[in-house]
């Protein structure tokens, strides 16, 4: 008898959380200087029931001129994926690479739309190499585990793009 066929289906893609802050409006609209834009991106995947997983892609975009914040946008784009008959050793890459690649275009669209609705020119997020970020995170986790085993204090794991 043959092994069951792998199953990978997108069940739902949705905005789980959305925040736009303009702490210095309306005066900030008088600034003419180009802002410095900082983007932080995080991924998280978890099993919600047998064969069903939620993957969360969180981005925080902060634009500043000098020390004044123009805007701060945080978007949590989520997807529910049916994933079955995939070897356990392959689940981390599926949740950390394949699913975020599916969610990212939706996240980018939401960020661009929200920033525009806030009165600013669109922010188009650059493409992200989730495979490289996944491997970078794995290497950092291994390094942290080695450091912890040697009795050194833990360092917080954070991937910034």
Give the CATH number, domain containing residue 100.
3.10.420.10
* Beta-strand relationship, 68-84 and 36-49: unpaired
**Confidence category of residue 1, pLDDT binned at 50, 70, 90:** low
What is the domain extent for residue 35? Answer: 7-127
* Domain count within the chain: 1
Structure confidence at residue 156 (pLDDT):
44
Domain contains 59: yes
For 127, counting Cβ atoms within 10 Å of its Cβ (0-12 exposed, 13-18 middle, 19+ buried), the class is exposed
Domain contains 160: no
Domain contains 80: yes
Q: In residues, how long is the chain?
A: 161
Quick: pLDDT tens for 21-49.
999 999 999 988 999 999 999 999 999 99
**Confidence category of residue 151, pLDDT binned at 50, 70, 90:** low
Mean pLDDT of the chain: 91
Quick: pLDDT tens for 100-144.
999 999 999 999 999 999 999 999 999 999 999 999 988 988 888
Structure confidence at residue 150 (pLDDT):
79
How far apart (Å, rounded) are the C-alpha atoms in residues 70 and 64? 5
Rounded to an integer, the average pLDDT of 53-66 is 97
Domain contains 121: yes
44 forms beta bridges with: 56
Percent of the chain surpassing pLDDT 70: 92
> Residues with Cβ < 8 Å from 15, sequence gap 6 or more?
75, 76, 77, 78, 110
Chain centre to alpha carbon of residue 112 = 15
Percent of the chain surpassing pLDDT 90: 80
Structure confidence at residue 147 (pLDDT):
85
How far apart (Å, rounded) are the C-alpha atoms in residues 130 and 140? 15
């Amino acid at each position: 008898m043959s092994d069951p066929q792998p199953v990978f289906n997108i069940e739902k893609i949705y905005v789980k959380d959305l925040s736009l802050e303009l702490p210095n409006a309306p005066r900030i609209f008088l600034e003419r200087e180009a802002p410095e834009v900082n983007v932080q991106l995080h991924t998280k995947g978890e099993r919600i029931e047998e064969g069903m997983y939620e993957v969360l892609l969180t981005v925080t975009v902060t634009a500043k001129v000098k020390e004044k914040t123009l805007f701060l946008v945080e978007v949590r784009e989520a997807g529910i994926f049916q994933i079955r008959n995939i070897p356990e050793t392959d689940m981390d890459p599926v949740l950390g690479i394949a699913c975020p690649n599916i969610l990212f275009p939706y996240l980018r669209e939401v960020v661009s739309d929200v920033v525009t609705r806030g009165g600013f020119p669109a922010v188009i997020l650059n493409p992200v190499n989730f495979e490289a970020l996944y491997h970078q995170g794995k290497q950092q986790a291994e390094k942290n585990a080695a450091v912890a085993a040697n009795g050194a204090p833990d360092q917080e794991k954070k991937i910034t793009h």
